[in-house]
């Protein structure tokens, strides 16, 4: 490990010398400097000196930018971000942002989308749902430009989930329904439709408008003719009925029965807890009135 650091330091020194001895007429020294910075960063990476490696990758990226070699610069920023990931999330996000900007400029939309999604994942790990949502949204747009339908759907599903967590239910419902409609056109994606409609239905339930829930269930049946035969449909219909009756026990029983076969993800549990709490409050209000 020590020899990696020594080698890295020596390469970094040579790179700095190349930079300072740069002749204004020729870019060859800049090219050499960029390459040496890259090699130096790789040595520090092998020594697990992540911050140092990342800063050298950034220097390499700056050299590439001066040479107007944008693709190489973007890749160097990505390498820097992957080193920063080990120590500083904010550093990683900053570098990935620069990479996304460059990839977008040079028309590499799928690469830009991929790294935009990666930024979203980092924010998600940091529990920053608002930022995560905006980056997933950006990734979806870029994937759409790059004509990668599956990736668009995957990103939109995450956006809808974050919208639901941020209590922007109407937006989440719209996204889920659009995805379901889109998926029905494909023999491979149509099997995921019931899941999207379930998520949309759960968002409808949280809003607590019984008429809207009933209308939605009818609309979902028209959208996907097989939906009325699924466990998801039965689950939504039973939940809807228990909300209409104000029966908290029935609501709990229905959820537990469904959960015993298909375990619910934590964000769905949170939504259902919100519904249950609202039902409890309503029940208490009714008791107070009587």
List contacts with another protein (CB under 8 A): 110, 121, 124-125, 127, 129, 147-151, 153-154, 165, 184-192, 195, 217-218, 221, 225-226, 228-231, 233-234, 237-238, 252-253, 255-257, 259-267, 269-270, 272-274, 276-277, 280
Name the residue nearer to another protein (CB basis): 174 or 274: 274
**Which tokens go with 64?**
């590439």
Q: What is the DSSP string of 71-90?
A: HHHHHHHHHHHHHHTTT-HH
Name the residue nearer to another protein (CB basis): 40 or 240: 240
d(CA 185, CA 95): 38
**Which tokens go with 138?**
């950006």
Find the shortest distance in angstroms from Cβ 192 to another protein: 5
- Residue in the block written with tokens 């001066």: 66
CB 156 within 8 A of CB 179: yes
- Residue in the block written with tokens 């020194």: 13
Contacts of 256-259 with CB under 8 Å at 24 or more apart are 258/231
Find the shortest distance in angstroms from Cβ 16 to another protein: 33
Name the residue nearer to another protein (CB basis): 13 or 181: 181
The 10 Å Cβ neighbour count of residue 191 is: 10
Find the shortest distance in angstroms from Cβ 134 to another protein: 16
Find the shortest distance in angstroms from Cβ 138 to another protein: 17
Find the shortest distance in angstroms from Cβ 31 to another protein: 20
Q: What Rg, from alpha-carbon coordinates, does the chain have?
A: 26
Find the shortest distance in angstroms from Cβ 190 to another protein: 8
What is the enclosing helix (H) or strand (E) of 133? helix 129-145
Name the residue nearer to another protein (CB basis): 3 or 257: 257
Name the residue nearer to another protein (CB basis): 53 or 142: 142
CB 197 within 8 A of CB 180: yes
Name the residue nearer to another protein (CB basis): 6 or 71: 71
Write the CA distances from 278 to 51, 184, 230, 240, 284, integer angstroms: 49, 34, 27, 14, 10
């Amino acid at each position: 490990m020590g020899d990696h650091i020594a080698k890295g330091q020596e390469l970094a020194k040579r790179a700095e010398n190349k930079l300072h001895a740069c002749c204004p007429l020729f870019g060859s020294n800049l090219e050499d400097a960029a390459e040496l910075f890259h090699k130096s960063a790789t040595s520090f990476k092998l020594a697990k000196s992540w911050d140092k490696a990342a800063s050298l990758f950034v220097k390499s990226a700056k050299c590439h930018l001066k040479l107007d070699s944008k693709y190489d610069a973007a890749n160097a920023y990505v390498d820097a971000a992957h080193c920063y990931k080990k120590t500083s999330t904010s550093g990683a996000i900053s570098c990935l942002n620069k990479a996304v900007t460059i990839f977008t400029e040079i028309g590499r939309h799928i690469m830009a989308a991929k790294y935009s999604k990666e930024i979203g994942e980092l924010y998600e790990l940091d529990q920053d749902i608002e930022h995560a949502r905006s980056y997933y949204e950006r990734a979806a747009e870029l994937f759409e430009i790059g004509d990668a339908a599956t990736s668009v759907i995957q990103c939109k599903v995450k956006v809808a989930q974050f919208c639901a967590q941020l209590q922007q239910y109407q937006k989440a419902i719209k996204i889920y329904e659009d995805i379901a409609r889109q998926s029905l056109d494909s023999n491979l994606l149509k099997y995921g439709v019931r899941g999207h409609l379930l998520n949309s239905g759960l968002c409808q339930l949280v809003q607590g408008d019984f008429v809207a829930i009933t209308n939605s269930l009818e609309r979902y049946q028209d959208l996907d003719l097989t939906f009325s035969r699924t466990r998801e449909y039965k689950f939504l219909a039973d939940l809807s009925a228990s909300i209409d009756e104000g029966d908290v026990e029935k609501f709990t029983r229905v959820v537990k029965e469904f959960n015993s076969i298909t375990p619910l993800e934590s964000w769905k549990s949170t939504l259902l807890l919100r519904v249950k709490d609202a039902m409890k409050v309503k029940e208490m209000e009714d008791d107070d009135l009587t």
